[in-house]
Structures are given as structure tokens and as C-alpha cells.
């Protein structure tokens, strides 16, 4: 509903959206070039999805760019619900679906113009389909699974095929299926899944040649080995643990609260005995729970190996964690209802506090002096003024009051006897209302200040048409910095200055880059400052200026 309400405010979203824009604008759906010289770092399935939606709606904008992620999340949740409802029970499946929708990491990815949610949905749907294929004894061809694997590979490379196949193969091997049958069956599925991606890779190689080959090798091989030509999200192994704990907010709080209600016993026996008990527990675990557990463990361990780690890499394990959380919450409802009541009260209190703080800001109870010092004082003041001074519509007032209404309904339900059946859904209702308010009002107001969209609007008035040039010093090889947000909102008009060395034109760069630029090109070019954005860019954290430039006389 609110996909288009928030302007692009990170460099990642416009970097993906501009690829889809260039597909439509230049008519190249195989290997489009944006910013004058850049090939997309990822395969094109996600960008195809944006371009298709934009072709129907009319333009590539915030809404159409985020729609594929939202649709992918919806499809993943629906398929997961059907999978668990048929093999466990409807309530567990429904609760797992709600938990998947309302944890921080999945929600964030589901409303963002990034490849991660489309990749996650394709991998998770492939896992479910391959499991169903295993139930049939690996007979026939799992066509839906093959298509999902192909989509995953066309979203982010071969890992989208490898991981679902490995997880399901290990599961079937543990359950006693012959290794050779598993190996050749999954090899055939993997090869079938490579056909569509291979067609694109070949067509892209015909266009991009060695440059395309080098990009693919770096992104898929050197990234895994930690030997990329530039550092990309280098993090230690424990980073993955921290990101999952943080990513599952607010349900990590429920787990923390519940620890105070569980009964504990002192461990008995030696480590060897513990290992035997663990193996017996795994052996007796039902198929659905074992498959879900393996999906979590294998994917998590795999993403601990590369040096490059991001929280979104682990998104495929979130629906399976949601399943175990659903079982655990139903257990708490039966045995430790008080823990759910405390968690729900905290969430309802947070909803009321959110509204109270916003009301205090609107009433002028938060003085500017509180934000007038510090490194980011100007931006923090702008955030405050956006929350305080922006006129509110009737819909905005509804959004503000919704968490209050849901919180009061929760407290009313909690006071009733026999409320156990509804307390879970009341808690989740409060969480939904908080996300609704953040997405619908608070985030758009705040992040409008952070976005470079207004800067792009001013530049568009000063230079309404034609190419502009951008400059960043010390661009790392293979990962050049660009003015992604401004470039997107200007319609992909900014190209790198150093790649073209034009006679004259307009140059967009940070004010701290001026001396660096002049040290390289000062003998050949004259610059005139025509526009100071006065805004800290969401892309490079610089205050950027627009300069008019020309070559000096006598310079070739």
C-alpha cells in the first residue's frame, strides 16, 4: 500500500531501479548499460520484473521498483502456508506466515527495491517444491521447482540453484534414500535449471565480452573466496548470529521474555552420551521439522564461509525459523501464557509510546535545542521539522491513531478470562499496526529529508536536458561510486567525467572533491560553481555542488 510513499534514500535502491529504467529507455533487456559505462552487477530477473511492472503502470518509480519484492514476499508466504498447512496443521502454518511477515528483516526486504527478496522467494519456493518431489520418490520432473531455481540463478547467480538442491539432497540422504539416486536426480534438476540462465549468460557475453566475464567471475567466485578487487561487506563469522537475532525483532524479545518462564534441569551424562541423544533426536524428528531445521543450518553455515557477509544473505532461513517460532508460541500459549501477555503488553506499550512521542513533537514539546549540536545536527533538525511541521491529511491521522486503537483492543482482550486463543493474534495485530504507521507516515516524513530527490529536482530545473558528468576520486576498481539517487531521478543522465573527458558541460561532485579534481584536471579545465545543494547526500555522505566547466584555450 505504501511502497511508493518513501523516496529512495540509500544508494542500493536507485542503483537497481536505474537498471530497469535503462532496459526500457534503451531497449536492451539483455545487458543494459547505465551511468554511461556500468553493467549491472547481478543477473537481470529482478530488473525484468521491475521493467514489466513499470511497462504496465507507466514508469519506473519508487512504487513500481519495489513491487517485485512485495509480490515475491506474498508468493513465498502463501506457498509456505500451503506447504505447512498440508503437512502440519492450519494454525501453525498461519502463525508461521504472520511471523514471516512481521519480523524486521523480512519486512524491510519486502518493501525495498533490492534483489534479495526475489532471490529469497525463489529459493524458498524451490525448497518446498523439491521436498514435494522427494515425497514422490524423485519421480518425474519438478517443473515448478526447476523454474524457481532458474529464477533464483537469474536473480543472483548459481548459488540460487546450489543451496536448495544441497539442502533437499542432504535431507533425503539422512532419511535413507540411496546416495547415487539422489546425486544423479539432483544433478539432472540442476542442469535443467541452468538452461534458462545459460541462455542469458551467453547472450550477455556476446554483448559484454571479457568485461562481462570478469564481472561474473568476481561476483560469483572471488566474492566467495574473499579475493575480490575491492572490499565488500567484510564481516566476521559471528556477524551472522547477530544479524539473525536483530533481524527477528520483535520476536527475539518474546524469546528473551519466555526464558524466565521455562523450567531448567542440570545436564547429566558425558559429551559422548549427549551426542548419542542428539543423533537419536534427529532420527526420530518428523520429516517436516527435520527439513526445516536442515534448511536453517545448511544455509546459515554456507553463508558463514565467505568473508563477504550481509544480513539479507540469510533471508532464506527466515520462513523456516518462523515455523519453529510458531510451534514455540503455541507451546507458550498452552504452558506459559504469562510470557505472551508480557510480550504483548510491551508491544502495545511501544505502540502507545510511538504515538505519544509523535504527538509531543507535533505539539512543539521537543525544542530544536535538543538537536542543535553534534556531527549531524542540521540533518537531525530537518528530521524534527519534517515530523513537526508537515501538514497531515485525514489518512495520516488514521495511520497515527491506528496503533493506539489496536493497543487498547489488546489490553481489553488481555483482561478477559480465557483469552489464550486470541492473545497471539492480538500481539501480532499490534506489531502489524506499528509497521503500518512506520511505513505509512513516520518513515516517509523522515526519509524524505535524507533523500537526494529534491536535489535532483533542482538540478533538473537548472539543466533540463542533456548529459551531466559526475566525479568521485579514488573509485575502487570494480565497485565505482556513483551519484545513484540523483542519477535515477534525473533519468540516468549522469556519466563519469573521467571516462569521457568532455570539452564542456556540467559537473556534479562533492565540495571536498574540488581540490582533488583540480589537482588532476586544473590545468585543462575551468570550473564555475552554479549550485550548492547544501544537502548531505544519501549516497556518498557529501555536500555536492553543480559546476559549469569548459576546457581552457589551447588544451587538446
- Which element (helix H / strand E) includes 189? helix 179-217
Instruction: Indicate whether 226 pLDDT > 80.
Output: no
Q: Whole-angstrom Cα distance, residue 343 to residue 26?
A: 52
Q: Which pTM value belongs to this model?
A: 0.93
Judged by DSSP in three states, 157 sits in coil
pLDDT in tens, 161-209: 999 999 999 999 999 999 999 999 999 999 999 999 999 999 999 998 8
pLDDT in tens, 450-490: 999 999 999 999 999 999 999 988 655 456 789 999 999 99
15 CB burial (10 A radius; 0-12, 13-18, 19+): buried
Residue 42, pLDDT score: 87
pLDDT in tens, 491-515: 999 999 999 999 999 999 999 999 9
| Cα-based distances in Å from 334 to 177, 329, 412, 419 | 37, 9, 21, 12
Average pLDDT, the chain: 92
Give the list of residues 6+ apart from residue 322 with CB closer than 8 angstroms, or none. 80, 96, 97, 99, 100, 103
- Which element (helix H / strand E) includes 495? strand 494-496
Residue 223, pLDDT score: 63
Q: Whole-angstrom Cα distance, residue 48 to residue 64?
A: 12
Give the list of residues 6+ apart from residue 212 with CB closer than 8 angstroms, or none. 31, 39, 204, 205
DSSP assigned state of 315? G
Q: Whole-angstrom Cα distance, residue 254 to residue 52?
A: 41
**Could you tell me if 396 and 441 are in contact, meaning their C-beta atoms sit under 8 angstroms apart?**
yes
Cell numbers given for 213? 566475464
Question: How much is the average pLDDT of 82-106?
Answer: 97
Cell numbers given for 85? 498447512
pLDDT in tens, 115-133: 999 999 999 999 999 999 9
Judged by DSSP in three states, 476 sits in coil
Instruction: Indicate whether 417 pLDDT > 70.
Output: no
φ, ψ for residue 337, nearest 5 deg = -60, -30
Confidence of residue 150 (pLDDT cuts 50, 70, 90): very high
Give the list of residues 6+ apart from residue 232 with CB closer than 8 angstroms, or none. 223, 308, 479
Instruction: Indicate whether 267 pLDDT > 80.
Output: no
How many residues belong to the chain?
A: 556
Give the torsion sign (CA, 460, 462, 466, 468): negative
Q: Whole-angstrom Cα distance, residue 527 to residue 549?
A: 4
Residue 228, pLDDT score: 58
Amino acid at each position: 500500500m505504501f511502497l511508493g510513499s518513501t523516496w529512495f534514500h540509500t544508494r542500493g535502491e536507485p542503483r537497481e531501479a536505474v537498471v530497469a529504467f535503462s532496459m526500457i529507455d534503451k531497449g536492451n533487456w539483455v545487458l543494459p548499460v547505465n551511468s554511461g559505462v556500468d553493467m549491472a552487477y547481478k543477473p537481470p530477473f529482478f530488473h525484468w520484473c521491475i521493467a514489466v511492472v513499470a511497462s504496465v503502470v507507466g514508469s519506473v518509480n519508487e512504487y513500481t521498483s519495489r513491487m517485485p519484492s512485495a509480490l515475491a514476499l506474498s508468493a513465498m508466504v502463501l506457498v509456505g502456508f500451503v506447504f505447512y498447512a498440508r503437512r502440519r496443521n492450519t494454525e501453525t502454518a498461519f502463525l508461521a506466515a504472520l511471523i514471516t511477515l512481521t519480523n524486521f528483516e523480512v519486512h524491510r526486504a519486502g518493501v525495498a527495491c533490492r534483489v534479495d527478496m526475489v532471490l529469497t522467494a525463489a529459493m524458498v519456493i524451490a525448497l518446498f517444491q523439491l521436498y514435494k518431489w522427494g515425497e514422490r520418490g524423485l519421480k518425474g520432473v519438478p517443473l515448478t521447482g526447476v523454474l524457481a531455481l532458474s529464477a533464483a540463478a537469474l536473480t543472483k547467480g548459481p548459488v540460487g540453484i546450489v543451496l536448495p538442491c544441497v539442502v533437499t539432497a542432504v535431507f533425503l540422504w539422512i532419511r535413507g534414500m540411496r546416495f547415487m539416486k539422489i546425486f544423479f536426480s539432483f544433478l539432472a534438476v540442476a542442469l535443467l535449471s541452468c538452461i534458462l540462465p545459460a541462455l542469458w549468460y551467453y547472450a550477455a557475453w556476446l554483448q559484454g565480452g571479457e568485461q562481462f566475464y570478469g564481472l561474473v567471475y568476481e561476483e560469483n567466485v572471488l566474492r566467495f573466496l574473499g579475493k575480490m578487487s575491492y572490499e565488500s561487506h567484510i564481516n566476521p563469522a559471528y556477524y551472522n548470529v547477530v544479524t539473525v537475532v536483530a533481524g527477528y525483532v520483535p520476536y527475539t524479545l518474546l524469546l528473551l521474555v519466555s526464558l524466565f518462564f521455562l523450567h531448567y534441569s542440570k545436564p547429566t551424562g558425558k559429551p559422548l552420551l549427549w551426542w548419542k541423544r542428539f543423533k537419536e533426536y534427529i532420527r526420530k524428528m518428523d520429516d517436516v521439522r527435520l527439513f526445516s531445521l536442515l534448511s536453517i543450518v545448511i544455509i546459515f553455515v554456507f553463508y558463514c564461509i565467505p568473508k563477504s557477509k550481509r544480513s539479507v544473505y540469510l533471508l532464506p532461513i527466515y520462513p523456516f525459523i518462523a515455523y519453529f517460532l510458531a510451534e514455540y508460541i503455541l507451546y507458550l500459549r498452552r504452558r506459559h501464557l504469562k510470557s505472551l501477555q508480557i510480550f504483548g503488553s510491551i508491544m502495545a506499550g511501544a505502540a502507545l509510546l510511538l504515538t505519544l512521542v509523535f504527538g509531543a513533537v507535533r505539539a512543539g514539546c521537543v525544542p530544536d535545542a535538543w538537536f542543535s549540536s553534534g556531527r549531524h545536527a542540521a540533518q537531525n533538525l530537518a528530521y524534527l521539522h519534517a515530523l513537526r511541521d508537515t501538514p497531515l491529511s485525514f489518512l495520516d491521522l488514521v495511520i497515527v491513531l491506528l496503533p493506539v486503537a489496536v493497543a487498547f483492543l489488546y489490553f481489553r482482550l488481555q483482561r478477559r478470562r480465557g483469552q489464550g486463543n486470541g492473545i497471539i493474534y492480538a500481539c501480532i495485530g499490534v506489531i502489524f499496526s506499528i509497521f503500518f504507521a512506520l511505513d505509512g507516515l513516520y518513515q516517509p516524513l523522515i526519509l524524505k529529508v535524507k533523500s537526494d530527490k529534491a536535489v535532483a529536482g533542482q538540478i533538473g530545473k537548472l539543466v533540463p536536458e542533456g548529459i551531466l558528468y559526475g566525479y568521485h576520486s579514488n573509485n575502487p576498481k570494480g565497485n565505482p561510486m556513483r551519484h545513484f539517487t540523483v542519477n535515477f531521478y534525473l533519468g540516468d543522465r549522469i556519466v563519469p567525467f573521467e571516462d569521457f573527458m568532455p570539452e564542456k558541460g556540467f559537473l556534479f561532485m562533492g565540495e571536498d572533491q574540488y581540490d582533488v579534481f583540480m589537482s588532476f584536471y586544473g590545468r585543462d579545465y575551468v570550473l564555475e560553481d552554479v549550485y550548492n545543494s547544501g544537502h548531505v547526500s544519501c549516497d556518498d555522505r557529501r555536500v555536492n555542488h553543480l559546476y559549469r566547466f569548459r576546457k581552457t584555450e589551447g588544451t587538446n
